[in-house]
Amino acid sequence: MPDYNRRATVYWWTVVVLGLAVLAHAVQHVAALPPRAWMHLAGGTVLAMLAGLVPVRIPRSTNSFTAGEIFIFLLLLLDGPQAAAIASACEAAVGSYRTSRRWTSRIASPAMAAVAMFSAGSLLHAALDALKRHGLDSDGLLLAGAVCFALAYFVINTVMVTMVARLKSNEPLRLRSFIDSFGWLGVAYAGNASVASFLYLSFRNSGIVVVVAAVPIIVILLTTGHYFFRREEAEEAVRKAREQQAAQRQMLENARHAGMAEIATNVLHNVGNVLNSVNVSAELIGAKVRDSESAGLARAVALMDAHAHDLGDYITGDPRGRLLPGYLKQLAQALAEERQGIADELAALTKSVKHIKEIVATQQSYAGASSVIEEVQITDLVEDALRIDTGGLADHRVSVVRAFAPVPLLMLDKHRVLLILVNLIGNARFAMKGAPGAHHQLTLRVDVAPDGTLEVAVSDTGEGIPAENLTRIFAHGFTTKKDGHGFGLHSCVLAAREMGGTLVAHSDGPGLGATFTLKLPLQAPTESSAP
C-alpha cells in the first residue's frame, strides 16, 4: 500500500477483517440450510457473476450497474442475508477484477459488498418479521421494504467504497456531491430491488418456472440497454472529439493571428527605435546648417568687395586686412569639417532609412504567408528574425553570438518558424533588459541533433526562469510582463506542435539566464498528418 496513509490503511484492514468474518458466518449459516437453498445460492451467484461482466453505464456518468443485484436481492428474499452476502461478494469480485488492477481493490471490494449486504439485508428481514408479527404482511409493504433496503445497501456500500479515497486525501463526505455523483446509481439499485420483489412474489405463487422464464427476458433487456448506452457513449465521444478538434483549430488560428500581431508589434517597435536615430541625425544636420560657418565667408566676401579698388594695399597694409588670409584659411578648414560632419550624419540617416526598409521588407515577405511549406535555409530565417529585432538588441547593448552548424536546406513553414524565432529573440531581449549588468549576450545555435531533428536554441544571460514556471510560461494567458498578454510563447508552442516539433525551456534558476530550444523534424509533416 505505497499510497495509503495510516488512516486509510487501518480502515482497509478493518473492512477486510470484518468482511471475512461476515463471509465465514454466512458460509456456516448456509451450510445448515436444506439442499434447495444451496441450489438457489449456486444459481443466483452464477447469474450475478455473469451479469457483472455486462455492466450498464448510467448516461452522462462514470458509474454503472449490473443485473446481478436482481438475483442477489432475490436470494436475500428467498434465503436470507447470509446467502445474499456470499453472492454479493462473488459479484463484487468479478466487478473489481474487471475495473481495477490494484490488489487492494480486488480484496476490499468483495469484503465491503458482503458487509453492506449483510447489514442492509438483516435490517430488511428484521423489518419484515416485525410487520408479519403485527399482521401487516402484504405485497405492497414487501415492495416498499425492498426499495428501502436497496437504498440502504447502496448508501452503505458506496460510502464504504469511496471512504478509502477520502481518507487518503483527507477529504470529508459531502452529501451534495455524493448525491450528484451517485444519485442515479441509487435509483438503479431501487429498480433492481423492485424487479427482484416481483420475481420473489411470482416464485412464491407459481414456483421456480416463472423465475427461470424471466431470466432470459432480463438478460435481453439489460444487454440491449448495455449496447444502447455504449452506442450513446460512442456517439458522444465522437461528438466531443469533433468539438475538440474544431476548438483546437480555432485556437491554432487565434494563436497564429496573435503571433502575427506579435511580429507586427516587434516591427513597429524596432521601426520606432530606428526612427529615433533618424530624428537625431536630422536634428544634428539642421543644427549644423543653422550654425554653419558659411555666414563668416559671406562677411569676408563683403569686406573684400568694399576694398576692391585697393585690395592689395588693404591686405598688406591694413591691420584688419592682414588677418583676412588667415581667417579664410581657418574658414576653409572649418567648412571642410562641417561638410564632413554633415556627410557623416547623412550617411547615418541613409543607413537608418535603409534599415527601416529592410525591417518592413522582411515583414512583408512573410505577411501573406499562411502555412506554406517550402525549401529554406534555417540560418536565413534566424538572420531575418534578428533583422526584425536588431534595433531592440542594439538599444540594450546586447552582443549576438552565432553558433551555426552546417544544416542542409529544409522543407519548413517559413511563417511559423519566423513567428517562433521573433518571439524567442524578443523575450530574450526583454529578459536581459531587466537583468543587472551593463552588457549581455544572446547566443543563437543551429544544429542537427543526434536523433535526426533540427535544433534551434536561443540562449540569453537575462533574468532566468524559476523552476515552477518552466512549463507554466507556455500556458495561454501566463506572462511575467506588466503589459504582456500571454499569447507569445503559447502561440509558439502551438505552432511548433503544428509542424510536428516541440518547444522547451531550460533555466538554472533566477538570474542565470534561459535557453529555449525549438526542435523540428527534418522533413516537414504533410497537412493531413499534422497534429
Looking at residue 514, what is its pLDDT? 92
CATH superfamily, with its number, for domain 369-521: Histidine kinase-like ATPase, C-terminal domain (3.30.565.10)
Domain positions in the chain: 6-206, 258-362, 369-521
What mean pLDDT is reported for the chain? 78
Nearest to 88 by CA among 107, 108, 116: 116
Reported as a single tens digit per residue, the pLDDT across 477-525 is 677 666 555 667 877 888 888 888 999 999 988 888 999 999 998 865 5
Q: What are phi and psi of 58, to 5 degrees?
A: -75, 130
Looking at residue 267, what is its pLDDT? 66
Looking at residue 212, what is its pLDDT? 65
**Rounded mean pLDDT for each run of 10 residues along the chain, 531 residues in total:** 77 90 91 85 82 63 65 84 89 83 85 89 86 79 83 83 79 68 70 79 70 65 63 77 82 68 65 69 82 79 81 80 82 85 82 70 58 81 76 65 90 81 85 79 91 91 87 76 66 83 90 92 56 37
- The conformation of residue 402, written as its DSSP 8-state character, comes to E
The radius of gyration of the chain from alpha carbons, rounded to an integer in Å, stands at 43
Chain length of the chain: 531
What is the pTM (predicted TM-score) of this model? 0.44
Identify residue 119 by its one-letter amino acid code.
Answer: S
Cell 536546406: give the residue: 409
Residue 72 CA to residue 80 CA, distance in Å, equals 10
Looking at residue 529, what is its pLDDT? 40
- Which of 3.40.190.10, 3.10.20.600, 1.10.1760.20, 3.90.1640.30 is the CATH number of 6-206? 1.10.1760.20
Looking at residue 20, what is its pLDDT? 93
Q: Are 524 and 373 in contact (CB under 8 A)?
A: yes
Residue 22 CA to residue 116 CA, distance in Å, equals 10
Q: Which residues pair with residue 443 across a beta bridge?
A: 401, 459
User: Beta strand pairing status for 514-521 and 398-404?
Assistant: unpaired
Looking at residue 518, what is its pLDDT? 94
Residue 156 CA to residue 149 CA, distance in Å, equals 10
Reported as a single tens digit per residue, the pLDDT across 293-339 is 777 788 888 888 887 888 878 788 788 778 888 888 888 888 888 88
Q: What secondary structure does DSSP assign to 202-244, as a single string?
A: HHHHH-HHHHHHHHHHHHHHHHHHHHHHHHHHHHHHHHHHHHH
Cell 567648412: give the residue: 335
Cα angle value 479/495/465 (rounded, 5°): 30
Contacts by residues 472-477 (CB-CB < 8 Å, ≥ 24 positions apart): 473/505, 474/503, 474/505
Q: Are 491 and 417 in contact (CB under 8 A)?
A: no
